[in-house]
Amino acid sequence: MKQRSVLKIALQKSKGEPSKYVNKINLIEHLGIDPNFHDNNDDGLIVIVSLLLVDWIGITDTKGLCFNRFKYNICVEESIADFEVGDIIKLGDCLVEISDKEKKCFFNECDRSKIAEPCLLRSEVKFAKVVKGGIIFAKNI
């Protein structure tokens, strides 16, 4: 089992709204984020990213197509590139399992692909289902 420190938690009450950063959330087994506070997708998956990705998006010169549209729920301190499907990750007292869903890439429409630049969205974004619920807290907002 791998463990990660949660740095940021972002919620979207409905699609298209800006994310709201909070200091804690309730994860519900098999449902994802408490639906009273977040518009869950049909599969109940949460989106986990690393701080490496968040920082990289802010400083990279060539912006990708997804940079402004992409929303995450949980940002963790360390890289998650080595997470594989089926890995169990401990976030506070909660356990999540990495799913086989991947971040969709719009390769043909993206400026990064036109100049053959790699994109960390491919490796530093993971989707996960909640296998043990509870409340998780962010270190800083």
Burial of 42 (0-12, 13-18, 19+ CB in 10 A): exposed
DSSP lists the bridge partners of residue 76 as 6, 50
Q: What is the pLDDT of residues 21-34, one digit of tens each?
A: 999 999 999 888 88
Spatial distance between the Cα atoms of 49 and 72, rounded to a whole number of angstroms: 7
Q: 82 is in which domain, residue-wise?
A: 2-137
What pTM did the predictor assign? 0.88
Tally the domains of the chain.
1
Could you give the residue ranges of the DSSP H alpha helices within 1-141?
A: 51-59, 111-114
The tens digit of pLDDT for each residue in 75-101 reads 999 999 999 999 999 999 999 999 988
> CATH number of the domain that 74 lies in?
2.40.33.20
Does residue 48 carry a pLDDT above 50? yes
Contact 131, 97 (CB under 8 A): yes
More confident residue, 104 or 49: 49
pLDDT for position 141 = 39
